[in-house]
Structure 1
Amino acid sequence: MSLPGVCVVYLLRRGPGGTEVLLGDKRTGLGQGKVVGIGGKLDHGESAEEAAVREVEEEIGVRIEASALHLAGTIDYHFPTRPAWSQRSTVFVCRRFQGVPVETAEITPRWYALDAVPYPRMWDDASRWLPGVLRGGTVDARFTFGSDLSTVVLTAV
């Protein structure tokens, strides 16, 4: 069974204290109330790169080019008690973009220093792989969430 495709982009910039990552307070839909990366579902026939470019512009008003995306890996998310939430996420990092992030109905964007990423406010899996990706690494993992729909109960890396 193939999982529905989604993408997530972590924009990085040089801040006063070092590298910063753009995350957002999710205002609607899956993950509402959590701090998340910028991204969303792939439209039918759309590549992960095309979706990443579109989603970043739709969610925060920033323009990126597919050539600026660095593929950092893929993650399969399984929700046995809510199968409609299961998905395969393509993870990108991007250091070149145009524009200033703006709040939209979907997301309230905010820059965080890498040592101040609010992992307790993110999905449970993020602290297990995101620090490495933000420092230039890659991820290839599978996470299964428990019946509470928020706690990782099984990890395969």
Structure 2
Amino acid sequence: MPTRDETKNQHPRVVVVYLLRDGADGPEVLLGEKRRGLGTGRVVGPGGKREPGESAVETAVREVAEEVGLRLDAADLEARGTLDYRFPFRPSWSQVSDVFVGRRWSGTPTASDELAARWVPVDAVPYDAMWDDARWWLPGVLRGGTVDARFTFAEDNASVAGFTGTGVEAPPV
């Protein structure tokens, strides 16, 4: 049975997971180039669509296994918030994403048909290669914060036209 929040918003539910580790020169995050589907060519964290009856954390565990070959325990994922994406000029792209961070897993990242993943220093995340909204909220999440925001995209379906919510900060110029 869907919750009240799920029935209120008819946009597809998705998840995104940011895995963090201590690298030789500081913290690193697992990111990859999206190989197919919405956002092809953009740099993203592993994630994807929720299956019917699947919880957000179950989706996160499944998607990380499918996209990068890592095994996660649901208890090791930290829920960091929700992003409501609105594309007024391409409504079929609108979706609601649950955001997770994880620091424990087993296995070694491997490429898939969906994602070519690699470890990136947190201070060198390629925001220019990501969806435009990431620069507004991902730095805070990677520092331990949370986000609960709605981003509306412009007519180009690439630029943020506006946002509301918490956990959003002005990106560096």
TM-score range (shorter-chain normalised) is: over 0.9
Partner-residue secondary structure (3-state), 1:67: helix
Counterpart position of 1:88: 96
Counterpart position of 1:12: 20
Give 1:14-29 correspondences, 5 Å limit. 14-29=22-37
- Runs of at least 5 residues in structure 2 that lack an aligned partner in the other structure: 1-7, 166-173
Matched, 1:142 2:150: yes
Matched, 1:46 2:77: no
Matched, 1:101 2:109: yes
Matched, 1:72 2:80: yes
Select the residue among 36, 44, 58 that pairs with 2:44.
36
Select the residue among 43, 62, 81 that pairs with 2:70.
62
Cα displacement string for residues 44-101 of structure 1 (whole angstroms, at most 9, x for unaligned residues)? 1110000000000000100001100000000000001111110110000000000000
Tell me the TM-score normalised to structure 2 length. Answer: 0.89
What displacement does 1:147 show? 1.4
Counterpart position of 2:159: 151
Runs of 4+ that moved beyond 4 A:
none
Root mean square deviation of aligned Cα: 0.7
Aligned length: 157
Give the % identical residues.
60
Counterpart position of 1:127: 135
- Runs of at least 5 residues in structure 1 that lack an aligned partner in the other structure: none
Larger relative contact order (CA 8 Å, sep ≥ 6): 1
- Which whole-Å CA distance do the structure 2 matches of 1:14 and 1:154 have between them? 34
